[in-house]
Amino acid sequence: MKKVVVVGAGPAGLMAAEVLSSAGVAVQLFDAMPSIGRKFLLAGKGGLNLTHSEPADLFASRYGQRRHQIEALFNAFDAASVRDWAASLGIETFVGSSGRVFPTDMKAAPLLRAWLTRLRHPKNGLPVQFFMRHCWTGWHKPASEPDQDGQVASHTWLDFETPQGPIQVQADAVVLALGGGSWARLGSTGAWVPWLQAKGVAVAPLLPANCGFDVQNGWSEYFVSRFAGQPFKSVAITFTNAQGLKFVRKGEFVATATGVEGSLIYAASSLLRDDIAAHGPVTLHLDLLPDMSPERVLAEVQHPRGSRSLSSHLKSRLHIEGIKAAILHELLSKELMHDSVQLAHAIKALPMTLTAARPIDEAISSAGGVLFEGMTEQLMLEPLPGVFCAGEMLDWEAPTGGYLLTACLASGAGAGHGALAFISDKKP
């Protein structure tokens, strides 16, 4: 009987295992962590965002430069497939006001439990064998006779460190779904990079994605003590990179002890990160009142305020208070604060300079990874026949909103089908 080893028990690895086991393939799934799907469970702690309901063309555009490669995976497993798959596990979904798709109970744990039950006790196919606390440590070179081509397929032998000591495992094919470089405490350490590179696999450097940024010179102690962790609600940001690509979006983000993070910042993070890496600090512009015209803002600022303080005036006329008022004082001089024209302009386009992305281990996800150019369409590594990759190991990135999980599931399904085709073509 043919056997496939899957390394990594996140969504991509689990989906690859499901494809293979349902086809009657013996699957052994290894993971370094004590339990399954740790990042998946943490990501769903505030409400599991499975996918997005927007039109397919717009959905595919969220993958930027890797649109073509990810869209090809969606031909077999797309956003609609995610909802159908969840329903097959008994998990109903709904579309939120933002177009995002969630389980009706908003929780990740029930879906994961149902999924593991099916993998361990399938109605059809073979059960998946799980091996936890088994940390992959690289390739093993067995002392065996060369095959008929004069080569020993050493890349289908893997070394693992286990609580009982080191072991070696051989397989007819391997699916690697080891994650990227974010949230190392949950298992995505990026330790696999040199092991693949040593085998001739092209890997782009892992970088933070959907990440926060540090502001120039940091926040004042006053601002940090009162506003770190507080959200900027109903604001917009505008940023134009060195190539002239403009980002404009309304939403929310959060002040941190060193800068900013949150959904609106994450949406622009790839542009901000790459521009900082290429050219140094960048400046975006924050619109504190995106639903109000510049003319209206100026008129309200210039409205006679009598004996009221400027803070009271801004609160009364424009409802600017709390963190929105604080950021004006933080980034503007006293002279500009008391120049009505300059103040009104800043309320609509407050310059904020960012100097660095936060470390990759703090990021929601990572960019970089195994280059598609060194893989087949079935996600097999060209230097390592029989070895497939899926999930965040691959060189792609996407914003939050269900896009990350959908691509992980799609690539897991793609790698699973690729491995199935590979072992089906091998001689018994």
> Which residue type does 1 have?
M
Q: Is the pTM of this model over 0.85?
A: yes
CATH of range 3-208+366-425; options 3.50.50.60, 1.10.10.2160, 3.30.590.10, 3.40.50.970: 3.50.50.60
**Cβ(128)–Cβ(8) under 8 Å?**
no
For the chain, domain boundaries: 3-208+366-425, 213-357
**Which residue do the tokens 């933002």 mark?**
98
State the Cα–Cα distance between residues 190 and 205, nearest whole angstrom: 10
Q: What is the pLDDT along the chain (428 residues), one digit of tens a residue?
A: 899 999 999 999 999 999 999 999 999 999 999 999 999 998 888 789 999 999 999 999 999 999 999 999 999 999 999 999 999 999 999 999 999 999 999 999 999 999 999 999 999 999 999 999 999 999 987 655 444 444 446 678 999 999 999 999 999 999 999 999 998 888 899 999 999 999 999 999 999 999 999 999 999 999 999 999 999 999 999 999 999 999 999 999 999 999 999 999 999 999 999 999 999 999 999 999 999 999 999 999 999 989 999 999 999 999 999 999 999 999 999 999 999 999 999 999 999 999 999 999 999 999 999 999 999 999 999 999 999 999 999 999 999 999 999 999 999 999 999 999 999 986 54
State the Cα–Cα distance between residues 144 and 3, nearest whole angstrom: 19
> Which residue type does 427 have?
K
DSSP assignment of 180-218, as one string? -SS-GGGT---TTHHHHHTTT--EEEEEEES--EEETT-
Nearest to 388 by CA among 416, 425, 423: 416
